[in-house]
Amino acid sequence: LCLGTTRNNFEGKKVIHLEYEAYTSMAETEIKKICRDVRQKWPSVKHIAVHHRLGLVPITEASVIISVSSPYRAESLEAVMYCINTLKASVPIWKKEIYEDKYSWKENKECFWENSEK
């Protein structure tokens, strides 16, 4: 199980809350691709659940949850890591951090084209 919860600060600035938006239809397709990959790589996996909140998410609350079940704990843990890492690299969801006086669109370091174009 991986539960992503919001930190209340970034570089000394106080985070008031997060806002998420998504290219919903494509995000669902990309998440389904991740699930298919998981089943190919770890055939023992039984159930997979990926849930991502959209809109306003207050601090301390969870914005993403990934759950994988398998008879083998090593495989379920590896599959969860794969899901969250691949989600961060390829699923079209965007996070805006709202501070007291301004906001900032975040960028995942995993974002696959940010690394390849420089």
Backbone Cα Rg of the chain: 15
Least distance from C-beta 79 to another protein, angstroms? Answer: 15
- Only one of the segments 6-14, 20-28, 37-45, 69-77 lies at the binding site for another protein (rule: CB under 8 A); that segment is 20-28
Binding to another protein (CB under 8 A) within 34-63 occurs at 52, 63
Least distance from C-beta 45 to another protein, angstroms? Answer: 20
First to last CA, the chain: 34
Contact between 26 and another protein per CB under 8 A? yes
Least distance from C-beta 72 to another protein, angstroms? Answer: 24
> For residues 65-97, b (16+ Cβ closer than 10 Å) or e, as one string?
bbebebeeeebbebbbebbbebbbbbbebebeb
Q: Given candidates 17, 37, 62, 96, which one binds another protein under the rule CB under 8 A?
A: 96
Least distance from C-beta 46 to another protein, angstroms? Answer: 23
